[in-house]
């Protein structure tokens, strides 16, 4: 899901059959993003900096490598910038299409999700 930071509207959606990692879906979608556009991804998008230089993702901690105070501060700043997309996802979950297992025809999932995104964008006007 690509969301405009200024007005909070959903710009682009991408889907695939079955379970697929978000970052792999992003790579396969080949969404054209300008180089000056900033991308704020969650920790699942580690490695996006190789594809798009103007992108930020929080750093992950491991058992052997704990995060420093500076890294935690940077992660907090990134999460402050990402709060808009998290709020959009929360609003979409109200419609229960993301929150629960989709049990209808798979062929119509894209159509229904796009309609829900349109309703959400209409509400934002």
- Domain of residue 8 covers 2-124
Q: How many domains does the chain have?
A: 1
Contacts 24+ apart (CB under 8 A), 118-123: 119/95, 120/9, 120/10, 120/88, 120/91, 120/92, 121/9, 121/10
96 pLDDT tier (thresholds 50, 70, 90): confident
Question: pLDDT (tens digit, 9 = 90+) per residue, 44-88?
Answer: 888 888 888 888 899 888 899 999 999 999 999 999 988 988 999
> Using 50, 70 and 90 to split pLDDT, how confident is the model at 26?
confident
Is residue 50 within 8 Å of 67, Cβ to Cβ?
no
State pTM to two decimals: 0.74
Extended beta strands in 5-85, E state = 10-12, 39-40, 55-56
Would you call 10 helix, strand, or coil by DSSP? strand
């Amino acid at each position: 899901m690509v969301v405009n930071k200024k007005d909070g509207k959903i710009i682009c959606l991408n889907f695939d059959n079955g379970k697929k990692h978000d970052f792999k879906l992003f790579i396969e979608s080949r969404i054209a993003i300008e180089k000056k556009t900033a991308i704020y991804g969650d920790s699942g998008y580690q490695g996006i900096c190789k594809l798009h230089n103007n992108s930020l993702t929080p750093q992950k901690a491991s058992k052997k490598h704990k995060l420093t105070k500076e890294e935690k501060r940077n992660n907090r700043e990134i999460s402050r910038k990402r709060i808009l997309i998290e709020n959009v996802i929360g609003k979409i979950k109200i419609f229960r299409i993301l929150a629960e297992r989709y049990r209808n025809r798979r062929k119509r999932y894209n159509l229904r999700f796009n309609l829900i995104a349109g309703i959400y964008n209409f509400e934002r006007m």
